[in-house]
Structure 1
Amino acid sequence: MTAQPLDRTYTTTSGQEARESAASAWHVLDEVADVRFLPSGLPLALRWRGCLWQVIGEPVSWSSSSSWWEPSTTPLGGPGGKGSMLTTRFWRFQAQTGPASPVLEFDMSADPRWQDWRLRRVTGVDVF
């Protein structure tokens, strides 16, 4: 089952507020992402919802590690459980489909328990 995006848009009254709201609107997702990387490891492009989004600017990368119990050895949290560290990798980058298209910001993650990168968040970028 695929999670549906959560709409985080806001109701506004003035044109200025509408522009600010559109720029700050974001959508939480959990979708498999078809992302291509350069030989250096930097993201190059993302195919999302039928469009090819080309990365522009400098992507940002970080990682997060957490303990994870291996349930095959003992029950979760049980005494004598064998623990291991899982490191989730993240990329945040801006991309567009062409020179005149809107710029969106994408957050991607890769967890060692998954085979694919996952698209986690998409937001508009304020270009005013």
Structure 2
Amino acid sequence: MGTPSTDRQTLDEPAAVRFTGTGVPLALRWRGSIWQVIGEPMQWSSSNSWWEPDTTPLGGSGSVITTRSWRFRAQTGPASPVLEFDISADPRWQGWRLHRVAGPTGF
């Protein structure tokens, strides 16, 4: 038996995310629906140098920017398809951004 077909969509749009009291994603509003997180979300972070021209050695200094990311599966209800979402937050922008959605063909 083969694996089911999947589609993946790369995005860069604001994400309206609700979190539990401990900071774990609980739900995401996307395309007019509330997607409830199911299973255990995965969290990671990455750091990059960010050079600010006014503060670099020839006129300033650099700083390290840490981006926080989550990947989770979610669905709108018990009979809806399960999609996988990637979101991230970076101190250079306000709020969370949705970067990737993957799931069954035809979402």
5+ residue gaps, structure 1, are: 1-15
Return 5+ residue gaps in structure 2 as ranges: none
Aligned twin of 2:26: 44
Query: Which has the higher relative contact order, 1 or 2, with Cα contacts under 8 A spaced 6 or more apart?
Result: 2
Match of 1:114 in 2: 93
Q: Which has the higher helix share?
A: 1
TM-score by length of 1: 0.75
Give the whole-Å Cα distance in 2 for the aligned partners of 1:119 and 1:102.
18
Instruction: Measure how far apart 1:116 and its partner are.
Output: 1.2
Larger Rg: 1
Q: Percent identity?
A: 67
Aligned partner of residue 68 in structure 2, secondary structure: strand
Deviation, structure 1 residue 70:
1.2
User: Which letter maps to 1:108?
Assistant: I
Structure 1 residue identity aligned to 2:16: D
Q: Secondary structure at the match of 1:107?
A: strand
Equivalence for 1:88: 67
Report how many aligned residue pairs link the two structures.
105
Structural mapping, 1:18-97, within 5 Å:
20=4, 22-23=5-6, 25-74=7-56, 79=58, 81-97=60-76
Which structure has more strand as a fraction of its residues? 2
Q: Is the 8 A contact 2:41 2:71 kept in 1?
A: yes
Rounded Cα–Cα distance in structure 2 between residues aligned with 1:122 and 1:72: 37
TM-score by length of 2: 0.89
Provide runs of 4+ in structure 1 moved above 3 Å.
Answer: 78-81
